[in-house]
Chains A and B, each alone.
Chain A
Amino acid sequence: MFRSALILVLALVATWLTLSGYFKPLLLKLGVISICFVLFLCFRMRILDRETAAYGTLPRTLSYFVWLFVEIVKANMAVVRAVLSPSMEVSPKVVKVPAPQKTDIAKSMFANSITLTPGTVSVNMESDHILVHALLSEMSDPADFAEMGVRSAWAVGEDMGDV
């Protein structure tokens, strides 16, 4: 909990400086007061844990997002082609994707990555799999999802073996 609080404070300081951009003494003092208040509020809400302070693995997350961005661009091309063609041939399909991630945060990262790539939307989260609705049937390949699952789990600090 103390580690999470420390990480959260660092992230909040960065957010405050990004938002404010002024380095006047009065505003810096007010910033310290604000961060203390936010920390107090989080303490009262009992949400000071790894999920709130998910910044601990920031370098990994950033490099994961680079990989994800390429996937997003590829998927976007396919969806645009399907949507804008006059015949609009789509083949919606619902598949169950196994989600063996242990932590909730890794599962959330996986589900959000699935939704972020157009053409696949995570519809329901069960205990060991995610129900995914795919726009084109060739997008529902389990191997792609498995790779994305391993990589997204790695991005939030959970090692699941090789890609």
Chain B
Amino acid sequence: METALGYMFLAGAFALIVSMALMLARLIGGPTLYDRLLAVNSFGTKTVLFLCVFCFIIDRPDGVDIALLYALMNFIATIAVLKFFNYRALDVNLNRVSVKGEDA
């Protein structure tokens, strides 16, 4: 059973890599900038999943921290790139309510 489990997760990791490679095709060929961003974002999600599965295969639970970090960084990177391409600058306040954040 142990080896069956190992092969199962290996197959899962391989399938994730295949799907990441297919996503790269959309990243390279995507007609618009937003297609590319979508592909990058989806690629990041798959990277998180791959990291989780891979840490399981090599039996090191610490690696899940890295997956957690990657999920957060993926979000920040997407927002930063989007903001840069929409406003051509990072110094824009996206918050139209007061900084206090109380509900208007």
Contacts and interface: CB of A to CB of B under 8 A. Distances in A.
A46 interface: yes
A103 B101 contact: no
Interface of B: 65, 97, 99-103
Nearest to B61: A21
Nearest to A51: B101
Contact of B103 (A47, A52, A103): A103
A49 interface: yes
Interface size band for A: 10 to 19
Contacts of B97: 104
Interface of A: 19, 46-47, 49-52, 102-104
A114 to B, nearest CB: 17
Contacts, number: 15
Nearest to B101: A49
Central interface residue in B97, B99, B103, by most chain A CB within 10 Å: B103
Contacts of B103: 50, 102-104
Given A19-B65, A49-B101, 4 more contacts: A46-B99, A46-B100, A47-B101, A103-B103
B44 to A, nearest CB: 16
A104 B102 CA distance: 10
Contacts of B101: 46-47, 49, 51-52
A26 B24 CA distance: 46
A19 B62 CA distance: 10
A130 B21 CA distance: 34
Nearest to B64: A19
A102 B100 CA distance: 18
Contacts of B100: 46, 49
